[in-house]
Amino acid sequence: MKTINLIKVFIASPGDIAAKRNEVEETIYRWNIENTDNTKVILMPIRWETNAIPTYINNSSGQSVINKQIVENSDILLAIFGHKLGSPVDNYESGTIAEIDYFYQNCKGEVGIFFIDEPVPQALTEDYLKVKKYKESISDKGFYGNYSKDNIRSFLTKKVDSVIEKEKNKIESSLFNLEKIDYKANSVINEEDNRNVQFYEELMDIFDPIEFDNDERLLLIYAFMDETVIFSTDESFYRKVIQWESDNNLKSYLSDRVFDVLTKLSNKGILKEEYYNYLDEYPARYILQAHDYKRLKKFLLEKQDRISTVIEKYKMPVMVDPFADNNLHESELPF
């Protein structure tokens, strides 16, 4: 079974061009035959005369009912004007203009307006002046063209891509914002924050061997000494840790397990996981948030002697060259 994306195309026009409305509907069906298999999209033509449901709503016009029932639920609005603008409705010059305006302002969907370029009958000259005036009024908005089946087909093809992309971005944005709120955690963010604050108020002592493992302690000291609050999960961060160990003549104790340490501190609620997008299986980086870093920094500034003790524990042994003169005391000289 294939998954098909349904896109609703509302066909708007004054009543004088019913034949063209039928032609647009046939063009939509032809588009489906030619494109649905490849695009996994099917277009559904929507017309007020076939899709609106008879409804009585007090203090509401027929046009507002159409707007709510079908215009609002459409993805694309395709409007056609011939030689008449249509009948006035709800303070608009015509129902078609009311539909265009409602869709454009409330639905933010794709709009296409097309004008039929055919000789104007003498009897409709006055009516056509209104159409011409409306056409001029939207000339700066850039969404109208001359009516033809080819132009309609081309418009639909382009706008289908836009609709699909918008929906995709909307879904990704929604899911990504959700992931950012809870950082892919199962707990509520407020509970997480409360636990984090409580942790730093009650268990700030990173030197407590019950609360912190040696590698966790060393990573937090690294964050303090290197003034780092962002820990990436790529090789660049790994190289920084190695460089820090080298600069301080330390064993590779932290670098050997650094990514596991990030996970451990994240599980404790100390670091926050951050993802590039909702499809990522693994975090892009870990964050030590500003208020937590300040607490950590304040604590460690008062514990310089403890830091030195921890650092000393992981110092590389000093290699002594037995043949170097400066390593021998005078009493040990062989002559």
The secondary structure element, H or E, covering residue 11 is strand 5-12
Give the dihedral sign, CA 35/37/40/44: positive
**How confident is the model over 296-311, as pLDDT tens digits?**
888 888 888 989 998 8
CATH fold for domain 5-178? Rossmann fold (3.40.50)
pLDDT bin (cut points 50, 70, 90) of residue 152 is very high
| In the chain, % of residues over pLDDT 90 | 20
Determine what percent of the chain falls in helix, strand and coil, rounding each to the nearest 5.
55, 15, 35
Name 250's Cβ contacts closer than 8 Å, sequence gap at least 6.
244, 311, 314, 315, 316
Q: What is the pLDDT of residue 79?
A: 92
Rounded to a whole number of angstroms, the CA Rg of the chain reads 35
Residues 94/88, Cβ–Cβ less than 8 Å: yes
State both tokens at 222.
């690294």
Tokens 């017309």 sit on residue: 47
Residue ranges of the domains in the chain? 5-178, 183-313
pTM of the model: 0.49
pLDDT tens, 63-92?
A: 666 766 678 888 899 999 999 998 888 788
Question: CB atoms < 10 A from the CB of 11, how many?
Answer: 24
Residue 83 and residue 16 in contact, taking contact as beta carbons nearer than 8 Å: yes
Closest C-alpha to 12, from 54, 38, 39, 49: 49
The Cα-based distances of 235 to 53, 224, 239 in angstroms read: 61, 21, 6
**Residue 65 and residue 57 in contact, taking contact as beta carbons nearer than 8 Å:** yes
